[in-house]
Chain A
Amino acid sequence: MPKPKIGFYWCASCGGCEESIVDVAEAILEIAELVDFAIWPVAMDFKRADVEALEDGAITATMINGAIRTSEQEEMARLLRRKSQVLIAYGSCAHTGGIPGLANQFSREAVMRYVYHDCPTVVNPQGTEPQTEYHDEGRVATLPEFRDVVRSLDQVVDVDYYMPGCAPNPTLVLAAIRTLLSGVLPPKGSVLAPDIALCDTCPRIDTKPVDLEVATFKRTHLHKVDPDVCLLTQGFLCLGPATRSGCGERCIRGNMPCTGCFGPLSNVHDHGAKMLSAMTSILAAEEEDDIDKALEGIPDPVGSFYRYGLPVSMLRRKVDLPFGHRN
């Protein structure tokens, strides 16, 4: 009997998710025994044609990491969806848009202008910009199209499961792969992590008072962080109360606040808005001046509250972007 086929693919991502697969360490050998890899660009040499040659549904499960920005990513996502029985959005970018999704605050033109012209480290005296087609002596070179907005994977194709995290935690990854191979699948649409916020398992929760009021928000590089006390209580914006657990509180144990990479709980409509709403509820300031003062500690509100989820939020994108590629 042939071994089940597994695929890994990356789109708009940093490569950290690929690392996280390797981070399962020796267990990868156990997996390799049980499955065949159908595609895994970062580790093995496969071509798109190899995948196209497979029958539809031939791959048992594919994990795609990264957000969707280019036409190529879009095409690969559609192709892999067709070839896979189960498609998993792997990591924050595929799950909720991730860090690349923050680019939705800017138009495509603004991104191009900055990256190819205005950025202080760019040297581009001829003002070259990428073109989708280049003709030279009768030969044609092509590049994928750069879309107007960044999307999460499920804004492009149907997704069966979500593996949260920037990057996902190896323990959860291994558990997920074993579950998949067991054939006993969770309900479609499940996020493969506990559906309860990080405070539930936070080692510092007992140090948080019941009547916490935050007067000012501090930034971690400007203040000493007490390694034992609840970070919100110390005035550091910690998204733990609004963020799904399962990460092993790695940031907290590293003495850094949660930035929200595991995304919201299943019954939350908008991760950033929910956290913002919670924070305004416990803000001590009542006068406008005091509020402004408190907010000085959050110089980048979108980057703080929507660091990993802008594309799937209610805000989604800057409103004056052209609507050419809405889904």
Chain B
Amino acid sequence: MMTELHQNGQEEVRIGYFVCHCGTNIAAMIDVAAVAEYVSTLPNVVVSKDYRYMCSEAGQDLIVQDIKEHRLNRIVVAACSPLLHERTFRTATQRGGINPFFCHMVNIREHGSWVHEDRAEATEKAKALARGAIGRVKYHKALEKRREPVTPAALVVGGGIAGIQAALTLANTGKKVYLVERDPTIGGHMAKFDKTFPTLDCAACILTPKMSEVYAHPNIVLWTYSEVEGIEGYVGNYQVRVRRKARYIDEELCVGCLDCVDECVFKVGNVDDEFNVGLSKRKPVYMPFPQAVPKLVVIDPVACTHLNGGNCQKSCVDACERAAINFDQTDTIEEIKVGAVIVATGFKTFDPKRKPLYGYGKYPNVYTALEVERLVTSCGPTEGEVVCRDGRTPKKIGIVHCVGSRDHQTNRWCSRVCCMYSMKLAHLLHEHTGAEIYNFYIDIRAPGKGYEEFYERLQEEGNHFIRGRVAEITDIPKVAEEEGMLTIRVEDSLAGFVRRIPVDMVVLSTGLEPHADSQDVRRMFNISCSREGFFLERHPKLAPVSTTTDGVYLAGCCQGPKDIPDTVAQAGAAAAEALTLLDTGYVEMEPSVSVVDPIFCSGCKTCLNLCPYHAITRDDAKGVAVINPVLCKGCGVCVAACPSGAITQNLFEDREIFEEIEEVLAYA
């Protein structure tokens, strides 16, 4: 092969091999000195060394110096996963004065020392892998990263606390932000909460100022009652289509005076109020809640008599002094360009009807936790008075934890917030009613700042904590004291026997789930999701807010259940990641992309429909496939599929791969 390269008039290949001890991470299981000794005998290898920490400054300098001293033009580093340090060693290679893509890494830690138990065999494997790398690296070519400009604006999808926080953080740095929310108001779930654990801050007091700030912010374009319909483009250059649903209200004219609501022909509400989770009724023309942002009414086209073709005197129109009501309004489509997208679409709560033994929907006094949030809040349907659906004020209340969570019949995951909000509700319910509170839990999970202390406080306040998953809630009495009560049957797994506890009211601490349409959202933004349906971060530890699609970031519960502090922190992180992209002003594209050689492309169309990133199009005039290098992620699907071998992938050319395989096999 050497002679071939000489004949091609290229310079002699001079390889430097560096094997890392990684302290004892590698050296304890692999005889690195022996590997270095072996590699020094391989063709084209000029330098072969082992060093304690290759990624350290001194280790990198070793590469830099040896490149200069020995005129090395290829570098192989055997160390940890390229995911961790490929960039480090490519940069070092570049500092040495040669193209960074002449550097190749061999993973002998995750693929070597950490997974083997026999030192001799692990050492042999490291030698074989080294030989493969030495074989392939001679075919490496000098590659350049590409740069593309970035549109300095961001789209935030979802106006809950995650979206609000992300939007404000970005907007405060001077970037333009489009905040798109499906509902008529921003605020999300947090707006429905009474207080927040463990500090018992009033949720509205800390949230509504932020909502107003969003509305007033000069850098934020807020579109509520709107949905993202489509997105095209690539990192730094997305074109987004947003559908703005008809509100039947002129947003420029409406001031939220509610005169139209007062004058609606329906004198009382006739539709379940979404904000009070069905505990009250609203009219067809309504404002979700008094602190809604934007402070605009909306007309529900399903409930409105006129919009349903009925004969209505349209008293709302007459009531509006500003003539803001416009029944002719239709949906409009906005087209925007953004550089980054933050997906903050939130969650839905578990539907407890899926656990029929808990009697939700059957017994009126069984509530979900979110309903109780509305019951205990002073701006709720009962103005904070806790009265059950059957009119009684509860004296004994049971709170059932883990409803739809940690349950192999429904959702296996822990929803993370239920223990804490259950205890918060226990505290508030006791405060409002003086009732005796029973918590039925599997484990109390209180791993946050001040959380364990809150748990202790609850215990000191006299709340009962019974460890056991509730088996059944029934209104069939067995003894006199169960008459007219809901009896909770549970195996107390600490005491070791089955208890029956009669209560007036049951609160089901329902878990968090992905939205029903999360798969559609996932497909639209071309991101992955875990088996549970929560959107998947690029790396659970090292890239927790990034996704596999560059320029698309995650914040809040759409990525997994989390509490408000974590959500806000994550939203800040997502904003920071987006800002890094927007502020840099350009994106650097890895050159390990696929390339069509138009000379060899027969235009057979095999590849066109395969690209998961929509990077391949057909130039009909020339009859060839064309790959947009900006969209290409280098997954290799088209390379494998191209029947003419016209598509190749940088750093993964056939000869590189085959040479590597052949050399590894030849080692044996």
Give chain A's interface residues, CB within 8 Å of chain B: 195-200, 205, 208-213, 240-242, 245, 264-265, 267-269, 274-275, 277-278, 281-282
B600 touches A210 (CB 8 A): no
Binding site for A on B (CB under 8 A): 597, 599-610, 618, 623, 637, 640-646, 648, 654, 658
- A278 x B643 contact (CB < 8 A): yes
CA distance A28 to B640 in the complex (A): 43
Please pick, from A200, A211, A213, A264, the residue contacting B603 in the complex, using a CB distance under 8 A.
A200
From A195, A197, A282, residue with most partner B Cβ within 10 Å: A197
Apart from A199-B604, A242-B643, A281-B641, list 9 A-B contacts with CB within 8 A: A197-B602, A212-B606, A241-B602, A241-B604, A267-B597, A268-B644, A274-B643, A274-B645, A278-B643
Contacting pair B604 A267 (CB below 8 A):
no
Q: Are A265 and B623 in contact (CB under 8 A)?
A: no
Q: Is the CB of B609 within 8 A of A210?
A: yes
Across the A-B interface, give the 8 residue pairs with the lowest CB-CB distance, nearest first: A197-B602, A242-B643, A281-B641, A199-B604, A241-B604, A200-B602, A268-B645, A278-B643
**Complex-state Cα separation, A209 to B609, whole angstroms:** 10
**Is the beta-carbon distance between A267 and B600 smaller than 8 angstroms?**
yes
Query: In the complex the two chains form, is A196's CB within 8 Å of B599's CB?
Result: yes
Q: Of the candidates A205, A211, A212, A275, which one forms a contact with B643 in the assembled complex, judged by CB atoms under 8 Å apart?
A: A275
A97 to chain B, nearest CB (A): 19
A264 touches B645 (CB 8 A): yes
- Cβ A208 vs Cβ B644 within 8 A: no
CB distance from A233 to the nearest CB of B (A): 10
Please, could you name 28 A-B residue pairs with CB atoms under 8 Å apart, sorted by A? A197-B602, A197-B643, A197-B646, A200-B602, A205-B605, A208-B605, A210-B618, A211-B608, A213-B609, A240-B604, A241-B602, A241-B604, A242-B644, A245-B602, A265-B600, A265-B646, A267-B645, A269-B654, A274-B642, A274-B643, A275-B643, A277-B641, A277-B643, A278-B642, A281-B637, A281-B640, A281-B641, A282-B606
Distance in Å: Cβ of A39 to nearest Cβ of chain B: 34
| B641 surroundings in chain A (CB, below 8 A) | 277-278, 281-282
Q: Chain B residues near A197: list those with CB within 8 A.
A: 600, 602, 604, 643-644, 646
A241 proximity list for chain B (CB < 8 A): 602, 604, 606, 643-644
B567 to chain A, nearest CB (A): 37
**Which residues of chain B are within 8 angstroms of A196 by Cβ–Cβ distance?**
599-602, 644
Bound: A242/B608 CA distance, A: 16
Q: Hey, which chain A residues are within 8 Å of B646, CB to CB?
A: 197, 265, 267
Known: A196-B600, A210-B618, A241-B606. A277 touches B644 (CB 8 A): no
Given contact pairs A241-B643, A278-B643, A212 touches B654 in the complex (Cβ within 8 A): no
* A210 in contact with B602 (CB, 8 Å): no
Taking a contact as CB atoms under 8 Å apart, the answer to whether A210 and B654 are in contact is no
Chain A residue at minimal CB-CB distance from B648: A267
Q: Which residues of A contact B605 (CB under 8 A)?
A: 199, 205, 208-210, 212
From residue B297, how far is it (CB to closest CB) to chain A in Å?
A: 46
Whether the Cβ atoms of A205 and B640 lie closer than 8 Å is: no
Residues of B close to A195: CB separation below 8 A: 599-600
Residues of B within 8 A of A245 (CB): 602
Closest partner residue, chain A, to B655 (CB atom): A269
Q: Which residue of B601, B604, B607, B654 has the most chain A CB atoms within 10 A of its CB atom?
A: B604
Which A-chain residue is minimally distant from B624 (CB atoms)?
Answer: A200
* A283 → B minimal CB distance (Å): 11
Nearest Cβ on chain A to B601's Cβ, whole angstroms: 8
